[in-house]
Amino acid sequence: MSKGPVTIGLTPGVPPAMTRLEELIVWVSSKPPKVVAQHIEGLERENKELKGRLAQDSHNSNKPPSTDGLGKRPRSLRKRRKKRKRKPGGQPGHPGRTLQQVPKPDQELVHPLNLCPCGECGGISLRGQPLQDYERRQVFELPTIQLFVTEHQAEIKICPVSGKEVRASFPEEVRAPVQYGPVYRAFMSYMNKEQYIPYDRLAQLSEDLFGQPLSAGTIVAANQQAYDNLAGFETRLVNLLIRAEVLHPDETGIRVGNQQHWLHVACTKGLTHYGVHRNRSKAAMDSFGILPHFKGWLVHDDLKQYMKYDCRHAKCNEHILRQLDFVAEVEKEAWAEKLIQFLLEQLDLSEHGPLEEKPFKKMLGDYHEILQEGRLLHPRLAAGQGRVKQGKTANLLDRLEDGDLSVLAFRLDSRVPFTNNEAERDLRGAKVQQKISGCFRTLKGAQIYARIKSYLSTSRKQGHNLWEAMRRAMIGKPFMPSTPTRGP
């Protein structure tokens, strides 16, 4: 059997178009028809694969939206969902975010009414009239921004017995003749790690707002101090994630120096843990001490490393829908569109709760009936065929059949979500960091980023003010996350 398309050479001195045609005719004439057919089949397969690659974008593959380019408009699966009765925007009962007056303003300015403005009395004086009430309006404004400087003075005296000069002790946190306080350091660390402002721009910000210079070393030292103070927080975070009912893991590539590393995340709706490792392997995931001990629902994108853990598995259906989109739109296979509609219908029905055993078995049968339509086009390899290469669609069908309960886990248990979007959302910040800084210079710097971001993300999920959370971390009293509530 031919291993692939044959490369036909060029004869020197002959026009290229004529040379290709003539050599192709000679080659075809000299080969048996079976070899020629195999060669044509290989060319068609290669052409189909290349066209498939060109047709891939973020809506039908795992490629990020940034690779789509300006020529491709973003597409969504929402058009295929049943129209809901809810209108766009905020729903009834949803709390608004309009600016509200406060009961105790910081300053009150009274505007007196001395002359009547009614226009009928000729502007009579109202100075002697009793006050009825006030109409109140409030203006929210920043105060003058400046650093508040506190000078610590330690008394110096002479001991009447020894005659030695003795001094009072400074507070433990006051360690240098001149230094920035914990609130300022927390602010700079927050702006660097949460708002992704790089060192040089933070230095300019400090100069513009406060009129004070700021070195990169000051920010590095502040981040290092927060990292050291958050060791206990990370230990508690890991223990809580192990006991969670539903856990979302994922990973994304990052650059550390000139080497590829991976930022791993394990999260719930109320907790987030990041870890950095040189590899994407199971050993790398084990090193963070979460997944080896986890026994709940693990929602993931079908990476084979995750399947090695002894827990209940649920697959991210968003990934599956994108792969089915490719098969439906590029390969033009009708079963893929049917399965997309089936999964989206089940998602709508999941709002009414999980299925009982009998209706679940009926739904599972409908699921496999659709897959059988795909099997007519892509038969499963028989046992004993060895490692024969098969197409991506056949591989997809294998995963959908073998992992049927993992695909439909959201219909078994109402706690299991349809997608792994929780983890994907938590990884977006790392891509912003990479766009701004390019890479982490050292592994230690990446680890500092991971621990501080774990703290900030968890703080936000649990309703804490991030600036105050950073201040507490900077003074060595970080908040400790609470036990996760029911659900993911």
- Model pLDDT for residues 350-394, shown as the tens digit of each residue: 999 999 999 999 999 999 999 999 999 999 877 665 566 778 899
Residue 444 lies in a domain: yes
For 289-305, how does the pLDDT look when each residue is reduced to its tens digit (9 = 90+)?
A: 999 999 999 999 989 99
Q: How far apart are CA 375 and CA 380, in angstroms?
A: 7
Q: Are residues 446 and 376 in the same domain?
A: no
Instruction: Output the six-digit token pair for 19.
Output: 């040379």
In sign, the C-alpha dihedral spanning 190, 194, 199, 204 is negative
What pLDDT is recorded for position 101? 93
Within a domain: 109: no
Most confident of 3-17, 138-152, 259-273: 259-273
Question: In the Cβ-directed half-sphere of 79, how many Cα atoms lie within 13 Å?
Answer: 5
Domain span at residue 212 reads: 180-290+435-488
401/390 Cα distance (integer angstroms): 16
Same domain, 271 and 324: no
pLDDT value for 437:
81
- 72-86, 187-201, 266-280: least confidently modelled range: 72-86
Contact 451, 237 (CB under 8 A): no
Dihedral of the alpha carbons of 424, 430, 436, 441, in degrees to the nearest 10 = -160
Token readout for 222 is 């502040």
141 within domain boundaries:
no
State the DSSP code for 125: B
Chain position carrying tokens 């089936």 = 342
Work out how many domains the chain is built from and give that number. 2
* Cα within 13 Å of Cα(232), Cβ side: 7
Pair (400, 349) in one structural domain: yes
In terms of average pLDDT, the best of 28-37, 167-176, 202-211, 267-276 is 267-276
The answer on 277 and 186 residing in a single domain is yes
SS3 at position 263:
strand
Confirm whether 303 is domain-assigned: no
Let me know if residue 205 belongs to a domain.
yes
Please name the residue ranges forming H helices in 350-465: 357-377, 392-402, 404-407, 409-412, 421-437, 443-461
**Same domain for 241 and 200?**
yes
Specify the 3-state DSSP secondary structure of 373. helix
Any domain includes 424: no
pLDDT of res. 1: 45
Q: Across-strand partners of 273? A: 266
Q: Report whether pLDDT(242) > 90.
A: yes
Mean pLDDT value across residues 53-72: 57
pLDDT of residue 392: 86
Q: Rounded CA gap, 29 and 88, in Å?
A: 66
The reply to whether 307 falls in a domain is: no
* 460 and 376 housed in the same domain: no
pLDDT of residue 5: 47
* Dist. CA 245–CA 400, nearest whole Å: 24
Distances 468 to 97, 262, 461 between C-alpha atoms, Å: 21, 30, 14
Residue 402 exposed, middle or buried by CB count within 10 Å (0-12, 13-18, 19+): exposed
How far CA 36 is from CA of 10, 22, 28, 60, 484, in Å, comes to 20, 16, 6, 34, 64
Whether 203 and 256 share a structural domain: yes
CA–CA dist 194, 464 (Å, integer): 14
Indicate if the alpha-carbon torsion angle 231, 236, 242, 248 is positive or negative.
Answer: negative
Same domain, 408 and 441: no
Q: Average per-residue pLDDT in the chain? A: 86
Residue 357 one-letter amino acid: E
| pLDDT tens for each residue of 80-117 | 555 455 566 666 666 667 889 999 999 999 999 999 99
Same domain, yes or no: 194 and 284? yes
DSSP-derived letter for residue 436 is H
CA atoms within 13 A of residue 238's CA, in its CB half-sphere: 17
CB 311 within 8 Å of CB 246: no
Closest CA to 228 of 66, 447, 75: 447
Q: Clarify whether residues 194 and 283 are in a common domain.
A: yes
Q: 451 in a domain, yes or no?
A: yes
Fill in the DSSP letter of residue 115. B
Task: For residues 309-313, give the mean pLDDT.
Answer: 96
Helix, strand, or coil here: 210? helix
Q: What is the DSSP string of 20-56?
A: HHHHHHHHHHHS-HHHHHHHHHHHHHHHHHHHHHHH-
